[in-house]
């Protein structure tokens, strides 16, 4: 089992093209941990902003009466992918992993696979 810091460091180093990664509580919008980022990508601001994205999607699913769970949410920008993976199990309810990737260096399918594997080892 990996703690928050080691799981985020693993995501940063093991997932090709990672710009930054955060573990976020979408109840409060607060980042529980961050690694990476840049002056153009403030991960604490991204954590709070993407909390709104998660809340909106959860609310839309409730309004549509969709009885399923969200695995991940993908936001595609001109030069980046932003991947939001909602955590399940072992105290992960209400949390998500946020991963920002450089589109020119990242393999989106592999990033999703690796992020899922990191989630499985994360102990919150």
pLDDT of 35-46, one tens digit each? 998 888 999 999
Q: Which of residues 93 and 52 earns the better pLDDT score?
A: 52
CB-based contacts of 34: which residues, under 8 Å, 6+ apart? 8, 20, 21, 22, 23, 43, 44, 47
In what side-by-side order are the strands of the sheet with 18-25? 30-36, 18-25, 95-102, 80-86, 72-76
CA angle (44, 22, 82) in 5-degree steps: 90
d(CA 105, CA 13): 13
d(CA 50, CA 122): 20
Burial group, residue 43, by CB count within 10 angstroms (0-12, 13-18, 19+):
buried
Q: Is the pLDDT of residue 96 over 70?
A: yes
Joined together, the tokens standing for residue 95 give 């949390």
**Architecture field, domain 4-121:** 2-Layer Sandwich (3.30)
Q: Is the pLDDT of residue 1 over 90?
A: no
pLDDT at position 108: 95
Global pTM value: 0.91
Question: Could you tell me the residue ranges of all domains in the chain?
Answer: 4-121
Report the percentage of the chain scoring pLDDT > 90: 81
pLDDT digits (tens, 9 = 90+) for 53-82: 999 999 999 999 999 989 999 999 999 999
d(CA 65, CA 103): 34
């Amino acid at each position: 089992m990996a703690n928050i810091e080691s799981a985020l460091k693993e995501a940063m180093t093991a997932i090709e093209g990672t710009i930054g990664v955060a573990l976020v509580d979408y109840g409060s919008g607060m980042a529980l941990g961050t690694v990476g980022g840049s002056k153009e990508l403030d991960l604490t601001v991204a954590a709070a902003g993407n909390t709104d994205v998660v809340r909106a999607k959860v609310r839309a699913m409730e309004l549509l009466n969709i009885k399923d769970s969200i695995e991940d949410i993908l936001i595609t920008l001109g030069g980046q992918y932003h991947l939001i993976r909602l955590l399940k199990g072992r105290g992960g309810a209400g949390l998500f992993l946020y991963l920002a990737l450089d589109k020119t260096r990242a393999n989106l399918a592999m990033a999703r696979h690796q992020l899922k594997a990191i989630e499985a080892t994360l102990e919150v």
